[in-house]
Amino acid sequence: MRRITVQEADFDATAELAALSAGAGGIASFIGVVRGNVGGKVLAALRLEHYPGMTEKALERLADAAAVRWALTGCTIIHRIGRLTPGQNIVLVATASQHRAAALEATAYLIDQLKTAAPFWKAEEFADGTQAWVAARESDTNAADAWTEARAENLPPDEGRL
Amino acid sequence: MRILYFAWLREKIGLGEETLIPPPNVTTPRGLIAWLSARGANYAAGFANEALIRCAVDQEFCALDTPFGAAAEIAFFPPVTGG
């Protein structure tokens, strides 16, 4: 089972995980939520935009790559766009497999890759009225690249894990 | 050719997309950036720091120096920050 969507609406994580249980021995998930503080400033909201069309293709490709690398029985990626306030969900990545290692590793892989390989952009609106586009972080690129390096040894990376 | 801009690049240029026909000597995204930058101060400001510009050709990430051939759609944007 594969489910990939980009949407403004919130998701029901419980229902999404339940939908992955068929044929699985374990389900792993990551949920990204909007922080309340960034760099000591109070955040009022996060605005997320994306490149319609390309985003979905990029996410499908990541799911394809994960399915080649791990024996998964299911994979769900839901990424929200629009204006989100602190505490609200941003992204859900969940994978299911017969055994926990594949699901845990595939989930970490997908969120690491998503951060550098899918065309989303975030802008922060602060409580003081200022706003700023989020800059890409080298640590995210390193975390994504570590999977490529780890691939040769068939091991998960030991750096940059979320 | 459909040209799209995202995030702060869209804000600096002042539009999200446009359809333009670049001259035949413009064959790469980097060439397109130079051509666009000569068209107006808004483009020049948006593209001022090329190190922060990424691009996609027909919805595939692409290096700035790869010829775009007969591409129908080119997008320019800052490094992505999803997740």
Residue ranges of E strands in B1-83: 2-5, 17-19, 54-57, 60-62, 73-77
Residue ranges per domain, chain A?
Answer: 2-151
In-domain check, residue B15: no
**CA closest to A57 among chain B residues:** B59
Q: Averaged over B47-69, what is the pLDDT?
A: 97
Distance from CA of B26 to the nearest CA of A (A): 24
CA A156 to centroid of chain Cα atoms? 17
Going by C-alpha positions, the residue among A53, A126, A49, A130 that lies closest to residue B80 is A49
**Residue whose token pair is 């926990």:** A100
Please write the tens of the pLDDT for every residue from B13-36: 999 999 999 999 999 999 999 999
d(CA A5, CA A55): 9
d(CA A124, CA A133): 6
CATH of domain A2-151: 3.90.1170.40
Question: In the prediction, which pLDDT does A138 show?
Answer: 86
In-domain check, residue B38: yes
d(CA A99, CA A24): 8
Structure token digits, residue B2: 């459909």
Overall number of domains in chain B: 1
Question: In the prediction, which pLDDT does A117 show?
Answer: 95
Would an 8 Å CB–CB cutoff place B79 in contact with chain A?
A: yes
Q: Which residues of B touch A50 (CB under 8 A)?
A: 82
Chain-wide mean pLDDT for chain A? 92
Question: In the prediction, which pLDDT does A16 show?
Answer: 98
In-domain check, residue B63: yes
Please write the tens of the pLDDT for every residue from B2-17: 999 999 999 999 999 9
Please write the tens of the pLDDT for every residue from A64-122: 999 999 999 999 999 999 999 999 999 999 999 999 999 999 999 999 999 999 999 99
CB A118 to CB B82 under 8 A?
A: yes
Q: Which of A51, A134, A136 sits opposite B75 (nearest CB)?
A: A51
The DSSP line for A104-153 is HHHHHHHHHHHHHHS-EEEEEEETTS-EEEPPP-HHHHHHHHHHHHHHTT
**CA closest to B59 among chain A residues:** A54
Identify the H or E element spanning B13.
helix B7-13
CA distance to A34, A138, B41, B62, per residue, from B54 (Å): 25, 15, 20, 8
Q: Which of B56, B79, B81 sits opposite A54 (nearest CB)?
A: B56
Q: Please answer whether residues B46 and B9 qualify as being in contact, where contact means their C-beta atoms are separated by less than 8 angstroms.
A: yes
In-domain check, residue B51: yes
Q: Which residues of A touch B81 (CB under 8 A)?
A: 115, 120-122, 133-136
Q: Averaged over A132-158, what is the pLDDT?
A: 77
Distance from CA of B60 to the nearest CA of A (A): 7
pLDDT of A150 > 80? The answer is no
d(CA A126, CA A135): 15
ipTM, 2 decimals?
A: 0.95
Nearest 5°: the CA angle A5, A99, A157 is: 75
Q: Which residues of B touch A122 (CB under 8 A)?
A: 81-82
Q: Which residues of B touch A57 (CB under 8 A)?
A: 59
Residue A151: pLDDT band (50, 70, 90) is low
Quote the domain boundaries for residue B49.
26-83
In-domain check, residue B46: yes
**CA closest to B75 among chain A residues:** A51
In-domain check, residue B14: no
**A62 class by beta-carbon count within 10 Å (0-12 exposed, 13-18 middle, 19+ buried):** buried
Q: Averaged over B47-66, what is the pLDDT?
A: 97
pLDDT of A154 > 80? The answer is no
In-domain check, residue B21: no
